[in-house]
Amino acid sequence: MEATAKARYVKQSARKLRQVVDLVRGKPVNQALNTLHFTPKKAATTVEKTVMSAVSNFMNTDEGTAVDPDELVISEIYVDEGPTAKRYRPRAMGRATVVRKRSSHLTVVVSDGNESTIQ
């Protein structure tokens, strides 16, 4: 059994989110939440909230009520690029440069560890 949570249109680049996501991939949920809570990056808060949402989604299913939340594992977690907003900044000699305000989509899948799809 598994449950999914998504955070879409996160106002941070996918590259910065992936640095934090790589810290918790494949870990048990308790250990992952502890790591995220003490990680001094802005992305850690977003990832922590999304992991807690995935756990809550798992517990609200019919099969999830019989499982202890301490046994859950992050089976999949990945970051995709979202839309990029383009702004312009004036520069020297009448020129303009593009400022890209990037966003991303975060997906977290937690499972009880009984499936063979865990890598």
Q: Which carries the bigger pLDDT value, residue 78 or residue 61?
A: 78
Report the run of H or E that residue 74 belongs to, with start and end.
strand 73-81
CB 80 within 8 A of CB 107: yes
Q: Does 9 map to a domain?
A: yes
Count of domains forming the chain: 1
Q: Does 89 map to a domain?
A: yes
Tens-digit pLDDT profile for residues 33-71: 999 999 999 999 999 999 999 999 999 988 777 888 888
User: What would the mean pLDDT of 18-34 be, rounded to a whole number?
Assistant: 94
**For residue 72, what are the domain limits?**
2-111
Q: What is the CATH number of the domain that holds 47?
A: 3.90.470.10
User: What would the mean pLDDT of 76-89 be, rounded to a whole number?
Assistant: 96
Q: Does 116 map to a domain?
A: no
Q: Does 119 map to a domain?
A: no
The rounded percent of the chain whose pLDDT value lies above 90 is 81
